[in-house]
A and B are shown apart, each in its own frame.
Chain A
Amino acid sequence: MKFYKVRDMDFLMDDNFPRPLVALAGNPNTGKSTIFNALTGLKQHTGNWPGKTVSLARGTFYHRNVKFCVVDLPGTYSLLANSLEEQVARNFILFNRPDVMLVITDATCLERNLNLALQIMEITDRIIVCVNLIDEAAKKGIYVDGDVLSKELGVPVVATAARRGIGLFELKEMIFKVYSGKVKPSPRKVNYGEELEKAIGELVPRLENTFSGRINPRWAALSIISGDYSIEDLEELVKIRDESREESAYGYSFFSQLPGNRGLK
């Protein structure tokens, strides 16, 4: 296992992670590390101390003769890049484009956890949602219907109770299936409303050209429109944003130029 000290984001850019690459994302305290350990057979401790250097734990496991590389991303509540952890998680998914993106959710408070899953669905399609802690949820009288959830999200869902080893084999199977293309997730994305979707639709073709598939254009468009500061990290994105602004079409103040902008809320 290797720990990467994140001082700047540079190390995320050079693609030195062995493939196939599986990334684990999820809210803090969802048992993400338990699943990581169960998959890779490693013991690891990670602290959730904002301000401390973010470390990424990395391990491997074999399933059906394929050696998967697993990276445990920092636990976050969102990918809106408000903190270093969120930036690291987001940039990793953006730039390293994992072959399988595993989103660990807590069955006892699924709603909050789905926010993150929905945001990750904006960046990548190859998602598996893992509903963990189903044993704890059952104790509290909460039951998650995996089939309904899978249909609503458009991605495969696996229920687990990682601490008791329940559902781990199924999880590995699903990782293999998504990796090998036997299961093709097609996330049902959030509809942001007519006005925003129109703006996104206009930006996407241009971004598609620039990034030629390296970065999800819909995500990039969303970030530009929402004036996400953290995209200052991504020089190419900034360039496009600024060009767009010169044509007085989009940019930070796109919406403030529209009459009735404040009424959007």
Chain B
Amino acid sequence: MDIHFFHSSRETGDSNDISHESTDVKDLIVEKIYEKAESITRKAVRYDRFREDLDKKIDLLLTSRVTGILFMLLLLGVIFWLTLIGANYPSQLLAKVLFGIQGFLESFLMSIGAPEWVNGFLVTGMYRTLAWVVSVMLPPMAIFFPLFTFLEDLGYLPRVAFNLDYFFKRAGAHGKQALTMSMGFGCNAAGVVSCRIINSPRERMIAILTNNFVPCNGRFPTLILLASLFIGGLAPNLGWLLASLTVSGLVVFGILITLLVSKLLSSTLLKGLPSSFILELPPYRPPHIGSIIIRSIYERTLFVLGRAVAVAAPAGGIIWLLAHIKFENQSLLAQAAAFLDPLGRLMGLDGYILMAFIAGLPANEIVLPILLMGYLAQGTMISPDDFTSLKELLVNHGWTTLTAINTMLFSLLHFPCATTLWTIRSETGGARWAVCAAALTTAVALLVCFITASLYRLVMWVIF
């Protein structure tokens, strides 16, 4: 479809031509339909002791410029707070159970006389990555998704689009981009597909290229875990609050970057004026809790988890191999990490972190397990069912608060996962836009990390 878009654009000269010319007629048609609907309603509907809709009063509060935005931010914070608090205990329990099974698997393989490398590949590589992904991802998703679905069923999401419309217009983008961005919270590939709701090819492209700046489910667990370990760990009493503030702050930062890059694109590469659209605010409806839980667990949580598991198992195996195939007395993994180390250090990261992000291209979920495997392959063993020992492991490998912050920022901003890139390719009809998306996001990620690292170092240098 897109190819058509661009053909027609070239014919008329400017990519905006079509949308603007036809919008006039389309608007007229829509207007006439609305007029007719109104006149029919006036004749056929009778209002008796009809009171002002409660919806309108609520909307007055939730969609006004000041209170609307405040409420949105508050809601974001509360959602992450609930997710963080609620997910902590089940996560640890799941990890205990799943990593407990690891022992059985190992002794079983030993008992049937499997060679050590089979044991390593299957259990340390595949099974452990799998167990990690399930125990870290499942609980937050099982809380976050029902909450998100609740808001959706309530009819709140269109209000979010309404609130953000102004900002996106200012950025030269389409107001509906707020909706496609919200979809990105679930999955960026789904977010990119949902950009079809934007008619103008120029604004659609902006929405597609910037969708990755909001963290998807695959990245939330990474952010949540690092935030609770490192930022939450800064103040023991206010840990949860601090951690959820950090995650919310990252999301807001991602949205700011989205707006900034949209503005940049709309004033350089994809020039033009934003087009208008009609956004209907559906009535608020009390959601059915039962169907929310069924739908969010079945359609979203298990779906996303299934995808993650399908990628994590083979990837875990491959990474284990890379960590154990030695070349000139050093594993391939360590060599790659050593090669990336200077660039990583410059940005307040290290070689292993960068390598984990690159190896995590198939799915963002597996970045942390790969990183841990890289660290663990160097010989340090920890009991992985305890998240505080996880922090120790990271700290032993030179992690500071800066490393944690920059890893979170890099995770937030870096190149899209393979699925998303493929989706961009098929949605825009060309690999060049996928390459463009990857280059753009990576450049932003490198730049932001470099800035924070330099600032951090400057502050440290001034203080000490």
Contacts and interface: CB of A to CB of B under 8 A. Distances in A.
Binding between chains A and B: yes
Interface of A: 27-29, 45, 47-52, 77, 80, 82-84, 108-112, 114-115, 118-119, 140-146, 148-149, 152-153, 190-193, 196, 222, 225-229, 232-233, 252-256, 261-262, 264-265
Contact of A227 (B18, B30, B32, B152): B18
Contacts of B283: 29, 108-109
A152 B44 contact: yes
A119 B27 CA distance: 14
B287 to A, nearest CB: 10
B318 interface: no
B28 A193 contact: yes
B49 interface: yes
B25 A28 contact: no
Contact of B190 (A51, A145, A190): A51
B57 interface: no
A152 B5 CA distance: 39
A51 B45 contact: no
Interface stretch (B34-42, B125-133, B368-376): B34-42
B247 interface: no
Nearest to B4: A232
B1 A110 contact: no
Contacts of B300: 49
Pairs of residues from A and B, 7 with the lowest C-beta to C-beta distance, nearest first: A227-B22, A51-B194, A114-B37, A149-B44, A51-B190, A111-B41, A141-B48
A252 B199 CA distance: 14
Contact of A52 (B5, B50, B179, B299): B299
Nearest to A50: B194
Interface of B: 1, 4-5, 8, 12, 17-18, 21-22, 24-34, 36-38, 40-41, 43-51, 149, 152, 155, 179, 183, 186-187, 190-191, 193-194, 196-197, 199, 280, 282-283, 285, 291, 294-295, 299-300
B285 A145 contact: no
Given A47-B295, A115-B37, A77 B194 contact: no
Contacts of A111: 37-38, 41, 45
B33 A115 contact: yes
A222 B33 CA distance: 13
B190 A143 contact: no
Contacts of B190: 51-52
Contacts of B51: 140-141
A141 B186 CA distance: 39
Contacts of A222: 29
Contacts of B22: 226-228, 252
B26 A227 contact: yes
Given A51-B191, A141-B47, A252 B27 contact: no
Nearest to B299: A47
Contacts of A83: 194, 196-197
9 contacts: A48-B152, A80-B30, A110-B41, A115-B37, A118-B36, A191-B32, A192-B28, A227-B18, A265-B27
A48 B34 CA distance: 24
A118 B146 CA distance: 35
A80 B27 CA distance: 11
A102 to B, nearest CB: 18
B44 A110 contact: yes
Given A148-B44, A255-B21, A255-B24, 7 more contacts: A29-B285, A112-B37, A115-B33, A141-B49, A190-B36, A232-B1, A265-B31
Contacts of B25: 196, 225-227, 254-255, 264
B202 to A, nearest CB: 13
Given A110-B41, A114-B40, A190-B32, A50 B183 contact: yes
Nearest to A87: B196
Given A51-B190, A225-B25, A252-B12, A153 B18 contact: no
B136 to A, nearest CB: 24
B26 A80 contact: yes
A228 B306 CA distance: 38
B75 to A, nearest CB: 19
B196 A264 contact: no
A84 B187 CA distance: 17
Given A83-B197, A149-B40, A45 B291 contact: yes
A112 B55 CA distance: 15
A232 B199 CA distance: 13
B29 A226 contact: yes
B48 A229 contact: no
A159 B3 CA distance: 46
B417 to A, nearest CB: 16
Contact of B26 (A29, A148, A226): A226
Contacts of B36: 114, 118, 190-191
A45 B28 CA distance: 37
Contacts of A192: 28-29, 32
Nearest to A46: B295
A153 B40 CA distance: 8
B199 A82 contact: yes
